[in-house]
Structure 1
């Protein structure tokens, strides 16, 4: 009988098309659900045959009808409509053959639940139709009963309630799955935005490091060439200039390595060195002094207690502003002032140059990078000619202490 039911289901698979043909063998969970219900139906058949006063056909045939109705339900999740149809067909056959009662109809609970839970379209309607069919069967010959009798109507109403509950559970499950998909898509979108912001931050880091270092290398290389072209050549000055070139390159290497490590997805520490902050502004001023730009630094001690992110942002803005001054403004002296203005860090970089717009790198990325850094913290950057001549960079950042 099992082989027969499987053959019928496979034939129905082929009729429904490739999507249905992908059904697999029933799982242990399927057997655990259908098995006890089938056993209960067999017990009901035994009770009906044992206590009835009517004549009935071959007794083992009643149990075969129960098994034949139960087996298709093992495939109810993959093929709910064929499984329910076969189950109800064997239940109808049980009644039409003349066996007393309708004990196999208890399997209709599983069939109606399968139609409500697993049918993609019109599951509730099909479940109610199945319940109506089971309601109709006892009213047909050979063992006819009144349709309004409690032993006929109450089970049928229970089958209909099962279909309604199953359909409601399916809707809740689909809504939950849709919500999970939306949350996953939103999380993926947030991750994409964070990755884009991180790439932008790394690009700014690389720009700042390269712009500063290459500017020092270019200026000191020109100094070395001028010294070598002199008559007689000033080898001492040329040697000093090349030493500065080497020092600038060595300083840039760990910062570049840290940025590239971030790009590879690793938490980078530049050879164990922390990210630069306001405490390293003095070293930065010395580097520009070696390149011919005198930098006067005004830095209160309270600023050294700011958060590392604020200090790094202020350092990079200062570095970019001084680099632009050295490359574009023709200045010989610059002043860097760090102060607190209400709840904001005020950073001023003023030079005595020509007062031209120094955007950096010839492409505008220097000034744009400074603005993006400040805006990422809720601050702002303004740049333009100073009131007393030269060029002024003014940055306002939030005053956030550790």
Structure 2
């Protein structure tokens, strides 16, 4: 049996413990039987001492397999004890192997019937032994007490083994639960990180795509104005270059900040500095690029940061698409109104369905993701009478759970 005294280094080497148990029991059981074998007979005529020696070995040696084959070891031990009953008229030192076998089955057997069968044998063992060793010349009371004592010892060892098994199974279940919780925690961390990276990727796309679209349009206009010879042409070229420089500088600063956040792996520390209050500035910047844009907006005070930023980015991406795809001479309008949420409408009178598209952009996908992340919805497509229409509805209170969805 594994006792606290056998803890420490021996607990890490169970086969050493088994060897010590078998060795000590052989020393206590086989040695007396061997000494008794000096005479021709033991316990009466017709019982050779060698037979008793074999029974002793069968009671002790199977304990070597008490961990790996507890049912087989206990079965051999029980049969050896039953064989002892007609051979001897008293107990043998090797009978102490019985409690060890009872403990082993209760502690390491995976068969519940086997464990219960050994418990029954433990309860009957004392009575069977004392009945065989009964001495009529002695009082019945101490012999009955001996029978109860033998059965109690074997049953208590079985109960100890059963308690050890239950405790081991409980620790294994707790260990499995801890592993499952750890896997769940790691998965949540990965999902949260992926969610944040997706959000930053949308920000990067919106900043870079919009800024580059404005820069391209302004560069084309500046190149055309630079070919003129009038004072107005030179002023337009200078103003265009100034707009290109300002737009590129803002895009570079925002890109550096986003890349710095990704490099430092501090995704939760990232918070965009823009809000829906920057909507007039955005429209003015697009107007300066040469696209006529009309802005009609309700009072946007009190709009939450997430909803306001999503509305701003949707307008920014939609106007960027107008610059890239609507064609020359197109005009656009932006309307933002509040009812049970924030309703954003961006439309133009450009090419519409006739516009070319390589199908590899993520602008419309990013706009839909922004709206969906807040519990809203977005539709985008060509208008029936020409041009393109983008409408989005963003609830003012997105709720605590939608924001966490990957």
TM-score tier (shorter): 0.5 to 0.7
Q: Work out the CA distance in 2 between the residues paired with 1:367 and 1:76.
A: 67
Compute the TM-score of the two structures, normalised by the length of structure 1.
Answer: 0.68
Following TM superposition, by how much is the alpha carbon of 1:332 offset from its aligned partner in structure 2, in angstroms?
3.8
Q: Aligned pair count?
A: 328
Compute the TM-score of the two structures, normalised by the length of structure 2.
Answer: 0.67
Residue number in structure 2 paired with 1:225: 223
Equivalent of 2:151, from 150, 153, 172? 153
Equivalent of 2:382, from 380, 385, 399? 385
Show the 5 A alignment for 1:144-293: 149-231=147-229, 234-264=233-263, 265-266=265-266, 275-293=273-291
Q: Is this contact kept in 1: 2:282–2:316, CA < 8 A? A: yes
Residue number in structure 2 paired with 1:67: none
Cα 1:82–1:128 change in 2 (3 A) is: farther
325-334 vs 124-133, greater mean Cα deviation: 124-133
Larger Cα-atom Rg: 2
| Structure 1 residue runs of 4 or more that deviate by more than 6 Å after TM superposition | 99-102, 111-117, 120-133, 135-140, 144-148, 357-361
Q: Work out the CA distance in 1 between the residues paired with 2:127 and 2:10.
A: 25
Following TM superposition, by how much is the alpha carbon of 1:254 offset from its aligned partner in structure 2, in angstroms?
2.6
Q: Is this contact kept in 1: 2:345–2:391, CA < 8 A? A: yes
Q: Is this contact kept in 2: 1:335–1:351, CA < 8 A? A: yes
Q: Is the counterpart of residue 398 in structure 1 residue 395 in structure 2?
A: yes
* Structure 1: gaps spanning 5 or more residues: 1-29, 35-70
Q: Is this contact kept in 1: 2:368–2:378, CA < 8 A? A: yes
The DSSP-based 3-state class of the residue aligned with 2:294 is strand
Q: Work out the CA distance in 2 between the residues paired with 1:263 and 1:377.
A: 23
Question: How big is the alpha-carbon RMSD for the aligned residues of Structure 1 and Structure 2?
Answer: 4.2
Cα 1:269–1:161 change in 2 (3 A) is: closer
Q: Is the counterpart of residue 363 in structure 1 residue 297 in structure 2?
A: no
Show the 5 A alignment for 1:3-402: 33-34=4-5, 75-91=9-25, 93-94=27-28, 149-231=147-229, 234-264=233-263, 265-266=265-266, 275-301=273-299, 303-330=300-327, 332-341=330-339, 343-356=340-353, 363-386=360-383, 389-400=386-397
Q: Work out the CA distance in 1 between the residues paired with 2:325 and 2:109.
A: 70
* Structure 2: gaps spanning 5 or more residues: 34-90, 135-142, 400-406
